Structure 1
């Protein structure tokens, strides 16, 4: 279950993904499969090669890209999520969702 994201933020992320940009969307998220994670960041791009290459620098495998929508993306959680948000200088995501 996703929550804590505004419609305009979602629409902006979708637009950037469809344009082939690497785009980030962080939101609260509850899933019984991941009891230690309360947020997820979706790092997406419709340019699969670009997304896979971007993911490589963070140790993400192209096989981990979610293709089930027209918005291909990696799901980032936990320590990897925080590390990537810091390296991408997305401090507003860290502050807003109280990630530490």
Structure 2
């Protein structure tokens, strides 16, 4: 179940994905397999090569892809979600959905 986004936000994500742009959309989400996870970020792009190339530095592989008709995407959850949103500079989504971002503690 997805909630917490507008139809306009979903339409904009779909349009970018169809155009071959990598687009990230975060929403609230409930799934019985992940009872402690409350959000998911869909990283989608209709150009599979572009999506795989984008995901490579984050350790995302073809086996992680969800091939959903015209909206292939990676589902980002947990620490990986926060890491990728931060590295992509999407602080608006991090703040809006209260996503935890791990910080390196080096002395």
TM-score (normalised: structure 2): 0.91
Distance 2:69 2:7 in 1: 18
1:38 and 2:52 correspond: no
Summarize the alignment of residues 74-85 of structure 1 with structure 2, pairs less than 5 Å apart.
74-85=74-85
Distance 2:35 2:64 in 1: 20
- Aligned-residue offset at 1:68: 2.5
Summarize the alignment of residues 3-82 of structure 1 with structure 2, pairs less than 5 Å apart.
3-82=3-82
1:87 and 2:87 correspond: yes
| Higher gyration radius (CA) | 2
SS in 1 for 2:46: coil
**What stretches of structure 2 of length at least 5 have no aligned partner?**
101-107
Distance 1:12 1:94 in 2: 19
> Hey, which bits of structure 1, 4+ residues long, moved more than 4 A?
none
TM-score (normalised: structure 1): 0.97
Aligned residues, how many? Answer: 100
- Aligned-residue offset at 1:16: 0.1
* Cα RMSD, aligned residues only: 0.6
